[in-house]
Structure 1
């Protein structure tokens, strides 16, 4: 069995290791996100994750929150060059110049999508017809890294000028923001997340 039993509760095994990881799995992962600022937060974090583990990013989440104005995309879009240089010395985040500059670029592209679609949430949820995809995976090995939808979404975002967002990153974003329910069926959160999605 892929799930991990802890205090008679089965969880998806990827979240084990430290308390904040379990909390993230139990309280956030897979819950549908319609708030644009939260969508932007996950875009920044998922982009920062490229080549790294999610646990590494989660440990630096508060550092990112402080460095990127609580993920206020309007502020991030106008960050000056001097501040970029400061961020390159900030140990609270991943000090990768391409990723930092991508966050600023993506904040601007994010607002362009808002202007065209009313909100970023309207745009991204249209790729799943407004309803979360409910998968029924029994083992962690069954979860895909990409899907045809994440391929299309990543391609469209790139066409709109987004950077550091490939299909794998976008599928992780879809999982995190509830466009897809990828909790394993025996995980205690699976049914709760499924019910939440059905009530949208």
Structure 2
């Protein structure tokens, strides 16, 4: 099996993520919030660092149950700032809680993040087959459009580079390299 360059000689955690999650279309709202949070936390850090702390994030953020995270208060933020198992960045933690609160409002209004995001691509993944990792852009016109729309809708920490990575993680953008032979159909 040939993988994308970043997963070719990676450890088991990164390889599993590549083979079974990254680029696999999802419409699960809890998973979408989890990946939103992890992508926010990853800003300025390596994805390997985030994956290594993923179980700690799940414990710290109530298994990414958006209704529970939306109820976090300043005491919870302070508690998380002392949790060495996660990324202790006050802005990222506060914006995660804030985004959960925004999602709760959306859900109460009958909207989901998944329907919102997938509407940008008419419900079908955008499949790119770049030849080399250096061709894969850090952001695209789509991630810029989605970033701008999310910010306008009140979400925080949703810059176009974070959104690009998030869309890839969700399978909205399938940026596996052309040489990658991992078949994701039906793995989720």
Helix, strand or coil: the match of 2:55?
helix
Q: Structure 1 length as normaliser, TM-score?
A: 0.88
Measured against aligned partners, the alpha-carbon deviations of 1:164-197 in whole angstroms (never above 9, x if no partner) come to 11000000000001001111111111xx24x56x
Whether 2:66 is the aligned partner of 1:73: answer yes
Among 42, 50, 64, the residue aligned to 2:43: 50
Query: Given the alignment of the two structures, is residue 63 of structure 1 paired with residue 77 of structure 2, yes or no?
Result: no
State how 1:39-118 maps to structure 2 within 5 Å: 39-116=32-109, 118=111
3-state SS of the aligned residue for 2:180?
coil
Pick which of 107-116 and 154-163 moved more: 107-116
Query: Superposed, which structure 2 residues align to 1:180-199 within 5 Å?
Result: 180-189=173-182, 192-193=183-184
**Partner residue in 2 for 1:10:** 2
Partner of 2:131: 138
2-structure distance, mates of 1:175, 1:167: 12
CA RMSD, Structure 1 to Structure 2 (Å): 1.3
In structure 2, the gaps of 5 or more residues are none
After TM superposition, the runs of 4+ consecutive aligned structure 1 residues lying more than 2 A away are 111-118
More divergent stretch after superposition (112-121 vs 159-168) = 112-121
Structure 1, unaligned runs of 5 or more: 1-8
- Matched residue, 1:170: 163
TM-score of the two chains, using structure 2 as the length reference:
0.94
What secondary structure, in the 3-state scheme, does the structure 2 residue paired with 1:162 have? Answer: coil
Aligned to 1:119: 112
1:154 and 1:188 map into 2 onto residues whose CA distance is 30
Alignment length, in residue pairs?
185
